[in-house]
A and B are shown apart, each in its own frame.
Chain A
Amino acid sequence: MKKTENIISLNKICKSFPLEVGGVQQVLFDITFNITAGEFVAIMGPSGSGKSTCMNIIGALDTPTSGVYELYGRDITNMTDDELAVVRNEHIGFVFQNFNLLPKRNVLDNVMLPLMYRGMSPEDRIIRAREMLRRVGLEKFESYLPTQLSGGMKQRVAIARALAGNPKLILADEPTGALDSVMGNEILRFFKQLNKDMGITIVMITHEFDIASYAHRLIHIYDGRINYDGPIPKSEAVLDKKTKVGKK
């Protein structure tokens, strides 16, 4: 019962990459945490801290070197590439820093893309994608190409695409990184609303404390280890202090 509550369960996850000169470089050390349904979690850390690798594992884009990763209580640690693709398609909605929309497909096609790979009928896809575009306020732009839209609009299209598959989990990698602060805040408020109104679990990767503070929980990764895991602290200084302590 408790297990099904956990959407994400990382247990002693380690990840190493082979180096070209030989040997390996370990970037994640014994990462362990759970995320339960309905949480809004920010994973924060400076560049090179291993947060992106952590996100790739959570997003089923990569597999850990050791440790166990359970998504919805299912161990996906040793799945094949195709099995992982199905997991991503059915359970995870991705929102990327640089939107990652297909530039030569119109907005509607972009939103429908994950539904096509799921095998949904073309009629249902259109109904579903239009509904999602309405939710992000872009129903009038369905025939536009991404290049004709502003950054904020592109990110809303990306969110509509992430929501189209009806996932319980949205994984956002620096979702405001390519946006100005006004648009960035708009996107963050939207995430907050999705989390509150629809109960969608959101995991957001960022290197900025201000952005992380939109979430309810902060996991701070430093040098491949969890440095802080808890509610959003009052100031970033808490994290810095910890790293300094940790470094000693």
Chain B
Amino acid sequence: MTFNDILKESWLSIGGNKIRSFLTVLGIIIGVMAVVIMVAVGETVQYEITDQFSSLGTNTVVIRAGAAQIGGVRSGNRQTLTIDDAEVIAKLPDVAAVSPVQSSGAQIVYGNRNWSTSMMGVYPDYTTVQNIEIERGAFFDQSAVRNASTYAVIGPKTATELGMGKDPVGEVIRVQNVPFVIVGVSKERGDSAMGSQDDMVIIPITTLKKRLQGSRFPNSVNMIALKLFQDADNSVVIDQISALLRDRHRLKQGDDDDFQVMDMKQIMETMTTVTGYLKLLLIAIAAVSLLVGAIGIMNMMLVSVAERTREIGIRKAIGAREIHIIIQFLAESIMISFIGSMIGLVLGVGLSQGIGRFILGYNVPFSLWPVVLSITVAVVVGLSSGVMPAIKAAKLNPIDSLRYE
């Protein structure tokens, strides 16, 4: 038997029952397509997140209040970081810009409109740390922080949602009945991993703490965000900050940190781990349909062996050895799963690129993953679902098979 013989025999047998073969192939097409699309979704999410974080630059460092983990649960609510901490960190030589950050939700009233969004109290340096650009007006300055002025910078989406005209600068919005004057509107950036950066209200941190929250700890903040100089060594600075904060917080040796310092690289790694699990989950779900497809092939092959008992008897009578019969049936199941995999691959890549890239506008990465996957599936599924029926066929007794009606 040459390779061509094997191909020809398989092709003729598969073509012998077109509808059944088509339905079996369809099972594999759907399975592979589902996996390929899910891989694309997972990779797109990963890519988009990485993209947004890297747009912030790897020299961004974030300090969060609370220990990294307490009993397995991250606690960010402890009042351990203060505005003073931020001021001291700002004096470190490698630090280019620092802003304490206090975030909360806010219900904004403008005229008769109401809009619920996120609110951040920051220093003006926050624009440097987060690469925020101002489209109209200007960001408030340090004197606004000092005076706890009721100035606000809003995102372009917030402006739209509130039904403001082309130039919202100078308009007055109310948050918890406190009027704020809009001094600037930020440039559109698109949604990011940190939430929509286009829908938010940024006000001086002192204003948020004193006028809106009336906190018992007017000095405490959720987070301190900073930007390092390009040539700074992140890990050295992180160590410096840790030492400084431990000292300021009077932590004894052996005490856990009551804060968490991470640079963008670490955050990105964390996010990649999370999205990696997400991707795995998606693939696992899609793999179930692939498994069902594989069972479909095995089922079809078993029926096929039963139906073709006589054919097998004839082949054996005129000299087919067991290996010939095994090869023939294995080749059929591999061919079915190969055809299904290749169509599934093309459809999966086509759909994920077509819908993801051209309709939804995401950067769906091209990767070799689906190709490798499809070929592996073709071989593994074909072999594993074909081997049992093939052996069954090969072991048939030629006399009984020839008598089979």
Q: Could you list which residues of chain A lie within 8 angstroms of chain B, going by C-beta atoms? A: 56, 59, 61-62, 81-82, 85-86, 88-90, 94, 96, 100-102, 104-105, 113-114, 116-119, 121-122, 161, 165
Q: Could you list which residues of chain B lie within 8 angstroms of chain A, going by C-beta atoms? A: 1-2, 4-5, 12-13, 16, 310-311, 313-324, 398-399, 402
Q: Chain B nearest CB: distance from A87 CB in Å? A: 9
Kindly state the separation between the CA atoms of A101 and B4 in the bound complex, as whole angstroms. Answer: 21
Q: Which of A85, A94, A102 is B321 in contact with, Cβ under 8 Å?
A: A85
| B316 & A104 in contact (Cβ 8 Å cutoff) | no
| B314 & A117 in contact (Cβ 8 Å cutoff) | no
Q: Which of B13, B310, B315, B322 is A113 in contact with, Cβ under 8 Å?
A: B315
**Chain B residues with CB below 8 A from A114, complex form:** 318-319
**Chain B residues with CB below 8 A from A105, complex form:** 12
Given contacts A116-B1, A117-B324, A122-B4, contact A96 B319 (CB under 8 A): no
Write the chain B residue with the least CB distance to A99: B314
| B311 & A85 in contact (Cβ 8 Å cutoff) | no
Q: Chain A nearest CB: distance from B304 CB in Å? A: 12
**Chain B residues with CB below 8 A from A101, complex form:** 314
**Chain B residues with CB below 8 A from A165, complex form:** 318-319
| B318 & A94 in contact (Cβ 8 Å cutoff) | yes
Q: Chain B nearest CB: distance from A172 CB in Å? A: 13
Kindly state the separation between the CA atoms of A96 and B318 in the bound complex, as whole angstroms. Answer: 11
Instruction: Offer 27 A-B interface pairs, CB within 8 angstroms, sorted by A.
Output: A56-B399, A59-B317, A61-B317, A82-B322, A82-B323, A86-B319, A86-B321, A88-B319, A89-B318, A90-B319, A94-B318, A100-B313, A100-B402, A101-B314, A102-B314, A102-B315, A104-B12, A113-B318, A114-B318, A114-B319, A116-B1, A116-B5, A117-B319, A117-B321, A121-B2, A161-B318, A165-B319
Q: Chain A nearest CB: distance from B140 CB in Å? A: 83
Write the chain B residue with the least CB distance to A56: B399
**Chain A residues with CB below 8 A from B314, complex form:** 100-102
Q: Chain A nearest CB: distance from B284 CB in Å? A: 40
Kindly state the separation between the CA atoms of A61 and B396 in the bound complex, as whole angstroms. Answer: 12
Kindly state the separation between the CA atoms of A190 and B107 in the bound complex, as whole angstroms. Answer: 102
| B318 & A117 in contact (Cβ 8 Å cutoff) | yes
Q: Chain B nearest CB: distance from A176 CB in Å? A: 18
| A117 & B12 in contact (Cβ 8 Å cutoff) | no
Write the chain B residue with the least CB distance to A121: B2
**A to B contact number (C-beta, < 8 Å):** 63
Kindly state the separation between the CA atoms of A94 and B316 in the bound complex, as whole angstroms. Answer: 11
Q: Which of A61, A86, A118 is B399 in contact with, Cβ under 8 Å?
A: A61
Kindly state the separation between the CA atoms of A31 and B13 in the bound complex, as whole angstroms. Answer: 42
**Chain B residues with CB below 8 A from A59, complex form:** 317
Write the chain B residue with the least CB distance to A118: B319
Kindly state the separation between the CA atoms of A101 and B316 in the bound complex, as whole angstroms. Answer: 13
If A104-B13, A104-B16 are given as contacts, then 4 extra A-B residue pairs at C-beta distance below 8 Å, sorted by A number, are A61-B398, A86-B319, A90-B319, A119-B1
Main secondary structure of the interface of B (DSSP, over half): helix
**Chain B residues with CB below 8 A from A161, complex form:** 318
Write the chain B residue with the least CB distance to A119: B1
Kindly state the separation between the CA atoms of A62 and B397 in the bound complex, as whole angstroms. Answer: 9
| 6 smallest beta-carbon distances between A and B, as pairs | A89-B319, A117-B319, A114-B318, A82-B321, A85-B321, A100-B314
Kindly state the separation between the CA atoms of A161 and B318 in the bound complex, as whole angstroms. Answer: 9
Kindly state the separation between the CA atoms of A61 and B316 in the bound complex, as whole angstroms. Answer: 9
Q: Chain A nearest CB: distance from B315 CB in Å? A: 7
Q: Chain B nearest CB: distance from A99 CB in Å? A: 10
**Chain A residues with CB below 8 A from B311, complex form:** 102
**Chain B residues with CB below 8 A from A116, complex form:** 1, 5
Q: Chain A nearest CB: distance from B198 CB in Å? A: 65
Q: Chain A nearest CB: distance from B72 CB in Å? A: 62
Q: Chain A nearest CB: distance from B238 CB in Å? A: 70
Kindly state the separation between the CA atoms of A100 and B315 in the bound complex, as whole angstroms. Answer: 10
| B399 & A62 in contact (Cβ 8 Å cutoff) | yes
Write the chain B residue with the least CB distance to A162: B318
**Chain B residues with CB below 8 A from A102, complex form:** 311, 314-315
Kindly state the separation between the CA atoms of A81 and B397 in the bound complex, as whole angstroms. Answer: 9
Q: Chain B nearest CB: distance from A19 CB in Å? A: 16
Kindly state the separation between the CA atoms of A122 and B230 in the bound complex, as whole angstroms. Answer: 71
**Chain A residues with CB below 8 A from B322, complex form:** 81-82, 85
**Chain B residues with CB below 8 A from A118, complex form:** 319
| B12 & A85 in contact (Cβ 8 Å cutoff) | no
Kindly state the separation between the CA atoms of A165 and B320 in the bound complex, as whole angstroms. Answer: 13
| A94 & B317 in contact (Cβ 8 Å cutoff) | yes
Kindly state the separation between the CA atoms of A45 and B12 in the bound complex, as whole angstroms. Answer: 40
Kindly state the separation between the CA atoms of A223 and B317 in the bound complex, as whole angstroms. Answer: 26
Kindly state the separation between the CA atoms of A93 and B16 in the bound complex, as whole angstroms. Answer: 27
Write the chain B residue with the least CB distance to A53: B399
Write the chain B residue with the least CB distance to A171: B317
Given contacts A100-B310, A100-B314, contact A122 B321 (CB under 8 A): no
**Chain A residues with CB below 8 A from B13, complex form:** 104
| B1 & A117 in contact (Cβ 8 Å cutoff) | yes
**Chain A residues with CB below 8 A from B317, complex form:** 59, 61, 88, 94, 100
**Chain B residues with CB below 8 A from A62, complex form:** 399
Kindly state the separation between the CA atoms of A117 and B398 in the bound complex, as whole angstroms. Answer: 15
Q: Chain B nearest CB: distance from A100 CB in Å? A: 5
Q: Chain A nearest CB: distance from B325 CB in Å? A: 10
Kindly state the separation between the CA atoms of A122 and B3 in the bound complex, as whole angstroms. Answer: 11
Write the chain B residue with the least CB distance to A104: B16
Kindly state the separation between the CA atoms of A82 and B325 in the bound complex, as whole angstroms. Answer: 11
Q: Chain B nearest CB: distance from A179 CB in Å? A: 18
Kindly state the separation between the CA atoms of A190 and B311 in the bound complex, as whole angstroms. Answer: 26
